[in-house]
Structure 1
Amino acid sequence: MQLNTSLLATICETPGAPGHEDLVRDLVIKEITPHVDHVEVDAMGNVTAIKKGRSSKKVMIAAHMDEIGFIVTHVDDNGFCRIHTLGGFDPKTLTAQRVIVHGKKDVVGVMGSKPIHIMSPEERNKAPKISDYFIDLGMSAEEVRELIPIGSTVTRERGLIEMGDCVNCKSIDNRVSVFILIEALKQLKDPAYDVYGVFTVQEEVGIRGAMVAAHAIQPDFGLGLDTTIAFDTPGAQAHEKVTSLGKGTAIKIMDASAICDPRMVTFLKKVADENEITWQPEILTAGGTDTSGIQRMTEGGVISGAISIPTRHIHSVIEMAHKQDIQGSIDLLKVALERMDELA
């Protein structure tokens, strides 16, 4: 089956910083409503798509809608915006980037910093800090203050392109998982249990939406969908790779926030093998996903695991995922939901 890269591009390119996922939420609701039994939106902004199964036990799948971004904290007398991060950034990825400031209207700006030509030798040898950057909108202070209230969010500007067998864009983390959950819900015909597909908010600032949703749903089983590190680039040692592009969807064993239930890990491996879905194991020693929110916020805990999408250049505007890994993730999620009653 050919990937709907047009839909993936629309999902990735739609802005939605943590706590401001409105446009992505509207897109998700439009795509899933014809394919599920019921759609709910909670007070925090999570979208829950419910699809009835053969039994009334509950399976919660979480894919977060938010992307890393910024919030405007100050406009100086020259019209430059100072910012605070919403999510984790490597400062060196900000140099020479365009952004979109979402004020009274969307305004394109650029990330500026001190030119290297006038840096001291000491400054040149220091790693950049977030505080070194400002947003230049090319406007006077009066114009900026009129258009950009303090508290306006900022997202990165970059469109999706296809590169060989891969897709490349900002916000592959985690819009590729939003895409995967949408596509799996569209294809899912006979789930074993009631499926609660939750498109969560504010994952990048602390897994907040998933915790709220899990507390309300109280699922019996849980699956997180998120990207993971593919450090399969020059200089990487074999033990550092975590995953590799094109080697299949990844079945999470653990990350820094969750140790996946061995029963779920074994089940996902079995389903993948029996359906000839290529997979690779994932152990991520730093970082976490909505999986931990599902696992912890349900009374007595949940049999939880995660399907991860190998991604290069993560938390930058050039995130890259392999089309076969994306398709394998859709396939594994769909079949796993159909066969979840085999998991004791």
Structure 2
Amino acid sequence: MSVDVALLKNICEAPGAPGFEKEIRDLVVKEIQGHVDEYSIDNMGNVIAIKKGVNNPEGKSVMVAAHMDEIGFLVSHIDDEGFIRFQTLGGFDPKTLTAQRVIIHGKKDIIGVMGSKPIHVMKAEERNKPAKIEDYFIDSGMSKEELEEWIEIGNPITRQRELIEMGECVNCKSIDNRVAVYILIEALKNIKAPAFDLYAVFTVQEEVGIRGANVAAHTINPDFGIALDTTIAYDLPGAQAHEKVTALGKGTAIKIMDAMTICDSRMVKYLKATAAKHEIPWQPEILAAGGTDTSGVQRMGKNGSIAGAISIPTRHLHQVIEMSHKKDIDDSVRLLVAALEDMNTASWEY
């Protein structure tokens, strides 16, 4: 199995700010048709695809979640000169906005650039202050009158950056979490016989509070859950060994905990054993800050679920230069497929 870079490129470059996931959702639906028994789109906009389990007399179910949304912005004001102010959708480090292009999605797409006060006219004390979100505005090169033919308050804005290959890595905006969307699509194409009824859920609005996964898990009430998301690869100059979380090229990651979830010890043990059985490289993930759909999958069903997560090591998270290693992506697909096919062979007793 090798990474389909062309498909990953399409997935990463498709726009889909939280609450505005239509374009990436349409792409997902196109890719999964013919590979699932049925699919539906719920009121939140989650895509819920089902593959029936084989020899599953007890009707056990497993939910796998990968969120479709990407961090983005919302038009909040257009001033008299045509400059756009915005509301963030998701978490941003303000300094990463400098010198970036964005796309404003209105009646037609408009390219803009993130602008701020030029350093040449800054006072000395201003130059040494950290950037703030409110220091930035979007310049489209158009007047207010021109803009308002196409753009209105409330339109979504996404970041503009194409996917490229760098060595054995891929680099793009929105690797978080489009790489997991890709992994779940590839798993649906490759899995032959899921042990339990598989609910593959492409969720919405994760970046603003795990909203789609909460609703989907409440609806499905799965017995088991696996979330797919990126995690920090802090394998960079200056990083101490205990700070790295994960490293690129060392295999997929099996989550033990993050700030929102302590993964079920049975699922952690099972994923480790599955990786060993199939000779899939893996690394443990303990993330002190941040959370993923794992929390919703684990807790929002009526009975809760035996939940864990497969994480994809990624450098430069929440920037437009996010980077993952193709081998880690491939290992993640392999582990997910094996885990779903072998799930009825494990003991789930405490």
Which TM class, normalised by the smaller chain length? Answer: over 0.9
CA distance in structure 1 between the partners assigned to 2:117 and 2:203 by the alignment = 37
CA distance in structure 1 between the partners assigned to 2:124 and 2:60 by the alignment = 63
1:40 is paired with a residue whose SS is strand
Residue 281 of structure 2 corresponds to 278
Q: What CA deviation, in whole Å up to 9, does each residue of 1:53-83 have, x standing for no partner?
A: 1212110000000000000000000000000
Match for residue 262 of structure 1 among 262, 265, 284: 265
Q: Is 1:52 equivalent to 2:55 in the alignment?
A: no
Residue 312 of structure 2 corresponds to 309
Residue 251 of structure 1 corresponds to 254
Offset at 1:343?
Answer: 4.0
Residue 87 of structure 1 corresponds to 90
Residue 23 of structure 2 corresponds to 23
Q: Which runs of structure 2 are paired with 1:187-206 in the superposition (5 Å)? A: 187-206=190-209
8 Å CA contact 1:250–1:309 kept in 2: the answer is yes
8 Å CA contact 2:169–2:325 kept in 1: the answer is yes
Offset at 1:145?
Answer: 1.8
CA distance in structure 2 between the partners assigned to 1:60 and 1:155 by the alignment = 29
Match for residue 139 of structure 1 among 138, 142, 145: 142
CA distance in structure 2 between the partners assigned to 1:182 and 1:147 by the alignment = 34
8 Å CA contact 1:64–1:178 kept in 2: the answer is yes
Q: What CA deviation, in whole Å up to 9, does each residue of 1:71-101 have, x standing for no partner?
A: 0000000000000100000000000000000
Stretches of 4+ moved more than 4 A in 1? none
Residue 63 of structure 1 corresponds to 66
Q: What CA deviation, in whole Å up to 9, does each residue of 1:199-257 have, x standing for no partner?
A: 00000000000000000000000000000000000010111100000010000000001
Match for residue 115 of structure 2 among 112, 115, 140: 112
8 Å CA contact 1:264–1:343 kept in 2: the answer is no
Residue 4 of structure 2 corresponds to 4
Residue 32 of structure 1 corresponds to 32
How many residues are matched?
A: 344
1:314 is paired with a residue whose SS is coil
Q: Is 1:102 equivalent to 2:98 in the alignment?
A: no
Offset at 1:296?
Answer: 1.1
8 Å CA contact 1:53–1:190 kept in 2: the answer is yes
8 Å CA contact 2:222–2:304 kept in 1: the answer is no
Q: Which runs of structure 2 are paired with 1:144-223 in the superposition (5 Å)? A: 144-223=147-226
CA distance in structure 1 between the partners assigned to 2:120 and 2:4 by the alignment = 45
Q: What CA deviation, in whole Å up to 9, does each residue of 1:293-340 have, x standing for no partner?
A: 011101232100000000000000000000000000000000000011
CA distance in structure 1 between the partners assigned to 2:332 and 2:271 by the alignment = 11
CA distance in structure 2 between the partners assigned to 1:151 and 1:130 by the alignment = 18
The two structures have a TM-score, normalised by structure 2, of 0.98
8 Å CA contact 2:164–2:172 kept in 1: the answer is yes
CA distance in structure 2 between the partners assigned to 1:143 and 1:290 by the alignment = 40
8 Å CA contact 2:221–2:303 kept in 1: the answer is no
CA distance in structure 1 between the partners assigned to 2:82 and 2:180 by the alignment = 37
CA distance in structure 2 between the partners assigned to 1:28 and 1:37 by the alignment = 15
Kindly provide the amino acid, as one letter, of the partner of residue 50 in structure 1: I
8 Å CA contact 1:184–1:333 kept in 2: the answer is yes
Residue 237 of structure 2 corresponds to 234
CA distance in structure 2 between the partners assigned to 1:246 and 1:302 by the alignment = 31
CA distance in structure 2 between the partners assigned to 1:133 and 1:146 by the alignment = 23
CA distance in structure 2 between the partners assigned to 1:30 and 1:86 by the alignment = 26
8 Å CA contact 1:255–1:286 kept in 2: the answer is yes
Match for residue 321 of structure 2 among 315, 318, 323: 318
Distance 1:343 1:147, change over 3 A: farther
For structure 1, the residue ranges without an aligned partner over 5 or more in a row are none
Kindly provide the amino acid, as one letter, of the partner of residue 337 in structure 1: L
Q: What CA deviation, in whole Å up to 9, does each residue of 1:143-167 have, x standing for no partner?
A: 1122111001000000000000000
1:260 is paired with a residue whose SS is coil
8 Å CA contact 1:278–1:328 kept in 2: the answer is yes
Kindly provide the amino acid, as one letter, of the partner of residue 252 in structure 1: K
Q: Which runs of structure 2 are paired with 1:67-78 in the superposition (5 Å)? A: 67-78=70-81
Q: What CA deviation, in whole Å up to 9, does each residue of 1:238-285 have, x standing for no partner?
A: 111000000100000000010000000000000001111000000000
CA distance in structure 2 between the partners assigned to 1:93 and 1:343 by the alignment = 46
Q: Is 1:333 equivalent to 2:336 in the alignment?
A: yes
CA distance in structure 2 between the partners assigned to 1:61 and 1:96 by the alignment = 37
CA distance in structure 2 between the partners assigned to 1:211 and 1:104 by the alignment = 31
Kindly provide the amino acid, as one letter, of the partner of residue 25 in structure 2: R
2:50 is paired with a residue whose SS is strand
CA distance in structure 1 between the partners assigned to 2:142 and 2:302 by the alignment = 53
CA distance in structure 2 between the partners assigned to 1:48 and 1:302 by the alignment = 17
1:23 is paired with a residue whose SS is helix
